[in-house]
């Protein structure tokens, strides 16, 4: 019996998670001016949805978002890096449905880039390993490899040294995004000016993760950028989170989003409800063990899209 001919995949949809920084410490500055870091990152269930279709050109669309899709966009840069690495003479029509806020410290742009790399690898059957995709992603942004791998990880260096860590203990995060985002370069410039008095204890955090000790992890948490942050919302948001029983409350990344860690979903939702009265973008999230993943594939039907050349 003749086997049916398998159609080539025409489109791939990927979900790529946001991240929270359980810890963030700054350990120095390289000769070329980059800050070296030591931090624990955690993937959470707030997802960018990236659909990539075969095309003769390269186009990135972000419906409903003010983020532009041109050559400066991380998703566009990830596609260019993928095609250069593989040598494929191909293109992509990329549609990104954003859920992660911009300038939040939650790696939305990195998630977009990670989603594009995972989707292109599937779409064109490149069969690159996750490690190879991470190497390509690192050319685009320091957080892209983590967005590919997800889960819980300790990240060091300039973001280029990533080691998987034991899973975060069961918990819920109440996350709040202020109206104004924070520029990452500005946040680090202010840190260089003011420094930090309080820092996380990453070794204690590592031990707590290994033991599955949520209280110990929260006691070790901290963000060296928080005190010098230009955002004026950190204190008021943290106060609400702690009033509702957060075991820890802090800014993520370079800001501006702030989150609290709860051992009770009910308490996390109560905190989110109060914050939502003043801040439209609030969520109750939980840890997830994976990074960017293929949600669905669609076989080719009809002609490829024709868009702007790469």
Write out the H or E segment, with its range, that includes residue 186: helix 184-194
**C-alpha to C-alpha distance for 112 and 137, rounded to whole angstroms:** 11
- CA dihedral defined by 76, 163, 222, 215, rounded to 10 degrees? 130
Q: How do strand 35-55 and strand 152-157 relate by DSSP bridges?
A: antiparallel
Catalytic residues: 19, 143
Using an 8 Å Cβ cutoff, are 81 and 41 in contact?
no
**What whole-number distance in Å separates Cα of residue 300 and Cα of residue 290?**
28
Q: Can you tell me which residue has the tokens 């990074």?
A: 291
Residues 6 or more apart whose CB falls under 8 angstroms from that of 220 comprise: 23, 200, 201, 202, 204, 205, 208
User: E strands of 30-139, at which residues?
Assistant: 35-55, 58-61, 91-97
> What are the strands, taking DSSP E only, across 9-108?
9-29, 35-55, 58-61, 91-97
Contact present, 255 and 105 (Cβ < 8 Å) = yes
Q: Quote the strand ranges of the chain, DSSP E.
A: 9-29, 35-55, 58-61, 91-97, 152-157, 161-164, 172-177, 222-223, 248-251, 258-262, 281-285, 293-299
């Amino acid at each position: 019996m003749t086997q049916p001919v398998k159609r080539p995949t025409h489109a791939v949809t990927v979900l790529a998670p946001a991240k929270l920084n359980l810890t963030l410490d700054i350990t120095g500055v390289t000769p070329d001016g980059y800050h070296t870091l030591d931090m624990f990152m955690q993937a959470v269930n707030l997802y960018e949805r990236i659909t990539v279709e075969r095309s003769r050109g390269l186009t990135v669309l972000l419906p409903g978002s003010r983020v532009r899709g041109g050559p400066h966009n991380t998703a566009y840069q990830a596609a260019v890096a993928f095609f250069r690495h593989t040598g494929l003479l191909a293109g992509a029509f990329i549609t990104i449905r954003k859920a992660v806020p911009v300038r939040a410290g939650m790696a939305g742009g990195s998630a977009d880039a990670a989603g594009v790399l995972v989707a292109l690898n599937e779409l064109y059957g490149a069969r690159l390993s996750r490690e190879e995709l991470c190497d390509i992603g690192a050319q685009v942004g320091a957080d892209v490899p983590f967005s590919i791998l997800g889960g819980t990880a300790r990240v060091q260096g300039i973001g280029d040294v990533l080691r998987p860590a034991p899973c975060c203990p069961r918990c819920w995060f109440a996350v709040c995004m202020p109206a104004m985002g924070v520029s990452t370069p500005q946040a680090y410039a202010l840190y260089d000016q003011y420094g930090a008095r309080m820092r996380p204890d990453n070794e204690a955090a590592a031990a707590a993760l290994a033991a599955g000790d949520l209280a110990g992890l929260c006691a070790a948490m901290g963000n060296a950028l928080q005190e010098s942050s230009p955002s004026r919302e950190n204190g008021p948001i943290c106060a609400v989170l702690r009033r509702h029983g957060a075991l820890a409350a802090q800014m993520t990344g370079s800001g501006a989003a702030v989150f609290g860690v709860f051992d009770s979903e009910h308490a996390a939702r109560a905190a989110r409800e109060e914050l939502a009265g003043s801040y439209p973008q609030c969520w109750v999230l939980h840890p997830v063990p994976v990074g960017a993943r293929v949600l669905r594939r669609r076989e080719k039907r009809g002609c490829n899209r024709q868009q702007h050349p790469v």
